[in-house]
Structure 1
Amino acid sequence: MSSSLDEQARTRLPIGAQLLRRKPIGLTLAQAEATSDGRSLHRSFGVLQLTMISVGATLGTGILVVLGETVPEAGPAIWISFVIAGVAALLSAFSYAEMAGLVPVAGSSYSYTYATMGEGLAWVCGWCLVLEYAVSVAAVAVGAGQYVNETLDSFGLSLPEAVANPPGAGGVVNVPAALVVLLATALLARGARESARVNTIIAVLKIAILVFFCAVAFTAFKAGNFAPLAPMGAAGVSAAASTVFFSYIGFDAASTAGEEARDPKRDLPRSILLSMIIVTVLYVAVAVAAIGAREWHWFDGREAPLVQIMREITGASWVAFIFAVTSVLAIFSVVLTVLFGQIRILLSMSRDGLVPRVFGVISPQTATPVRSTRIVGGVVAVTAGLIPLGELADATSIGTLFAFALVNVAVIYLRVRNPKLPRAFTVPLYPLLPAAGALICLYLMANLSSSTWIVFGVWMAVGIAVYLGYGRRHSRLATLDQATYERHLEDDLDPDHPLREGDTPR
């Protein structure tokens, strides 16, 4: 082991050259077929499973409560805010679709950045994704206690405060939050196919309950509730759009399953865009149905307004029970799919040597990274059960937006440098759409709170220390001799190279 490290030290590149060294796409695809222990992930996902992974990660509990926060800002025009936010997210979704077809591996935006902008920005992107995925999973899971109590309330029961909330929020440990993460971890450890099957069922249930809400709400529809359409003006509509934008985060989850898709070049772009269409249509339909059922003033300060609308229209207490159960399932689905993405990104980073090898070990029994799943699941479960996340959860937004911006830039870079590469999907109206996508992400980042930027800065400082202390010394790409490295780069420029023909090798 020590001799290996000594050899790496002797061949270490100057730090400037190492930070800018790009990982050739052909090399990325070849390494994806076998990890360091000689095993690979099992290709079992079709368009349906991939689409439901993105829908499962995106369609969470937010839509059940977000209207109470945003309708007072936008008024009846809240549905326009959802359209604006959906279009903004779609710009990045187009870029993800193109890159997912070109680099169909588990690393998502981390791998796309490595192939275009070098190891330095790839590490920053991967480190951002670690923050985004891990903290967002814990943040979503923290809400489990509240919704479990709402479910139990239908039977006149409730959890004691000590086990329903973390320390600092009136409790000792948030048992439901920890259990949700541990259950998702156990399911992921069993195998990707089983996890995808459960997620698909839950995602369909989430879609069904929102369609059911629309059907009931439209029975009390009043067109007069939409006048005046925008009482707070365009500024109010824009402010609400910035808030609801984060309800779309998660559509990129399918791109982390690039090595488990049966036909990744064809199915990944389709699933990413299809999930965006499904989520956007649902959000707009729910917003229109809700405003049609109640005047916009009614939403001010309301918690879970959809549940209240259903209860008032139907007069049935079972409605609250159904929505509470659906919310618990929604939490589980988001935890399952986002945890899945986190583990796959760490797999790619481990394969490159930037994080320890344990995160890249594939189990021969389940064809999944079981060790990594247990480690990540355990850490997230402890975080969700014991730490009141508060504003720390907002830091996930800045990491997500930064990753989105890098993917948009990656599309432009590869179009300029490798225009002849066969692309299963191409962003329309290039370069306008990817440029607009990157600028919108940077604009939204600039409008985040100062506390969010402070957390982000601290996290980046820790990341730099980890890279200099571990990643730089263990980077596999840095140990390639210059001649071999240049040969891989030349292969990327050849559209007829074997790795560019057809699908990823199986």
Structure 2
Amino acid sequence: MEYFRKKSVKELVEQSTPLRRSMRTLDLTLLGIGAIIGTGIFVLTGKGALTAGPALSVSFVLAAVCCGFAGLCYAEFASMAPVSGSAYTYSYIAFGELVAFVIGWDLILEYALQAATVSAGWSGYFTKLLQGFGIDLPVQLTAAYGTTPGVTTYFNLPGFVVVLLITWLLSVGINQTRRANDIMVGVKLAVIVLFIVCVVWYVKPSNWQPFSPYGWYSFKQNSTVPMGIIPAASIVFFSFIGFDAVSSSAEETIEPRKTLPRGILLSLAVSTVLYIVMTLIMTGVVKYPEFSAFIDAPVAGVIVKTGMNWLALIVDFGALIGMTTVMLVQLYGQSRICYSMSRDGLFPKFFGEIHPKYRTPVKGTWFFGILTAIAGGFININVLFELVNIGTLSAFIIVAAGIIWMRHKHPEMQRGFKTPGVPFTPLIAIVFCGVLIAGLNWQTWVRFAVWFVLGLAVYFLYGARHSTMNKPSESAITAH
């Protein structure tokens, strides 16, 4: 049995199921912004500021550059293979079935854990918003067991419910999903701009000194936790995860060879500018060590420092909207990855069945939506966001390497967008991803290895046997 058998772009396009095409460049850009801007601003800036100080803005630039180079590679693949599946499909074309399955398995973990992790942050902001109206939820139902030291909690009810609501929205059609996302991203951006305009006047340049208290990489005395710009970049990289999910919408996009690259790169550019501006303002208003007092809600803490309490309610609402769009795009991307893998026979057909009315993979969407809701409701997964990062960085490395391979082996293939500076641009992406992976702790490597081995077991016990590639003469590109 050939484990590195490949599929041609022509074959993938012919096998694709005609989902409902309705998304244009603006929709894809907003989809990307919806996935990127959320947890990064409203949650991770607190931990990031404690790790890098005011130089957190440099950490965001470093993470953005890494994603930018990877985004250029994604853009070329998206224009070359306009079908669902993102890095999974691209790996199938470049490196063959086994690598594709591993990356698909990796992406399922990435999307599920990110959505579940964000649901925990969403629950915290939702609880605070209700308290502003005099409504108190039972504390035992506001977070997973053991999430908050000294507080007895059992179940994250708000997070559980919001994931199920998003799953329902995804299941009833891409038009409804697109409209909801466009509206929520518009509201989120308006709230962020309002925060910037109102708070920038409270910036004290003296709070930016020292600008980089821990340098690029160092350790505090008697501590094994890495500090500095690179470790902070490894943390806030989580903020940029999501733009790759845009490429999963290929079969629901109008003129995907043109619109997908534009949507990917525009969403990255807009999000990076907003992240840099927000972190400079926040560390300029509040001295970086003080973020330890409100690490879970750093934006709210900055507002309290300014005394503009009226703005806190608006920002809480904006945070809820922001994190909702992140979960929406992650669950959307996850369902499309599973749909693609099912269509190729690597997952059971159940995950790839298209609803005749909604033209969406309803069963697969609900299956993983429920699992994600349960994970966010019961499991303390705050410590696992680095596992999301290492999975995503691994996918980026494979996609970047795939561009070099495809340019060498198949230069004749049609490309609506070409990554500039090949092979140097993909190589830079690989190096940056490697640097960020090096900033993660060893426990993350162990967890990732366990998931990797489990994925190999699923492939050899099921995927390899049921692959559609077992049928003769199905691939136009043979293994090289």
Tell me which interval the TM-score lies in, with the shorter structure as reference length: over 0.9
Give the TM-score taking structure 1 as reference length.
Answer: 0.88
1:379-413 Cα shifts (integer Å, max 9, x gaps): 22222222222433432221111111110011111
Report what 2:160 is aligned to.
178
Report what 1:293 is aligned to.
285
Whether the 8 Å contact between 2:238 and 2:388 is mirrored in structure 1 is no
Whole-Å separation in 2 of the counterparts to 1:27 and 1:270: 25
Report what 2:222 is aligned to.
none
Aligned partner (choices 196, 200, 204) of residue 214 of structure 1: 196
Worse-matched range after superposition: 170-179 or 22-31: 170-179
Secondary structure in 2 aligned to 1:84?
A: helix
Counterpart residue identity of residue 97, structure 1? A
Rate the CA distance shift 1:285–1:20 in 2: closer, same or farther, 3 A.
Answer: same
Counterpart residue identity of residue 21, structure 1? R
Structure 1 residue 202 corresponds to structure 2 residue 184: yes
Aligned partner (choices 157, 169, 172) of residue 187 of structure 1: 169
Report what 1:311 is aligned to.
304
Whether the 8 Å contact between 2:39 and 2:239 is mirrored in structure 1 is no
Whole-Å separation in 1 of the counterparts to 2:167 and 2:363: 11
Report what 1:76 is aligned to.
54
Rate the CA distance shift 1:154–1:264 in 2: closer, same or farther, 3 A.
Answer: same
Secondary structure in 1 aligned to 2:294?
A: coil
In the alignment, structure 1 segments of 5+ residues that lack a partner are 1-13, 35-39, 493-506
Worse-matched range after superposition: 457-466 or 126-135: 457-466
Whole-Å separation in 2 of the counterparts to 1:426 and 1:291: 38
Aligned partner (choices 427, 452, 462) of residue 470 of structure 1: 462
**Number of equivalences:** 465
Report what 2:418 is aligned to.
426
Report what 2:406 is aligned to.
414
Whether the 8 Å contact between 2:109 and 2:388 is mirrored in structure 1 is yes
Whether the 8 Å contact between 2:43 and 2:121 is mirrored in structure 1 is no
Give the TM-score taking structure 2 as reference length.
Answer: 0.92
Identity %: 38
Secondary structure in 2 aligned to 1:246?
A: helix
Rate the CA distance shift 1:84–1:123 in 2: closer, same or farther, 3 A.
Answer: same
Secondary structure in 1 aligned to 2:47?
A: helix
1:304-323 Cα shifts (integer Å, max 9, x gaps): 2322222332x343322222
Report what 1:320 is aligned to.
312
Instruction: Describe how 1:119-134 pairs up with structure 2 within 5 A.
Output: 119-134=97-112
Worse-matched range after superposition: 368-377 or 442-451: 442-451
The structure that has the greater radius of gyration is: 1
Whether the 8 Å contact between 2:171 and 2:365 is mirrored in structure 1 is yes
Rate the CA distance shift 1:213–1:356 in 2: closer, same or farther, 3 A.
Answer: same
Worse-matched range after superposition: 302-311 or 343-352: 302-311
Rate the CA distance shift 1:480–1:318 in 2: closer, same or farther, 3 A.
Answer: farther
Rate the CA distance shift 1:489–1:252 in 2: closer, same or farther, 3 A.
Answer: same
Report what 2:220 is aligned to.
none
Report what 1:278 is aligned to.
270
Instruction: Describe how 1:118-267 pairs up with structure 2 within 5 A.
Output: 118-169=96-147, 170-235=152-217, 236-267=228-259
Aligned partner (choices 469, 477, 480) of residue 489 of structure 1: 477
Whole-Å separation in 1 of the counterparts to 2:122 and 2:256: 34
Whether the 8 Å contact between 1:68 and 1:301 is mirrored in structure 2 is no
Aligned partner (choices 34, 39, 44) of residue 56 of structure 1: 34
Whole-Å separation in 2 of the counterparts to 1:75 and 1:26: 50
Rate the CA distance shift 1:172–1:300 in 2: closer, same or farther, 3 A.
Answer: closer
Report what 1:101 is aligned to.
79
Whether the 8 Å contact between 1:82 and 1:284 is mirrored in structure 2 is yes
Counterpart residue identity of residue 3, structure 2? L
Instruction: Describe how 1:452-463 pairs up with structure 2 within 5 A.
Output: 452-463=444-455
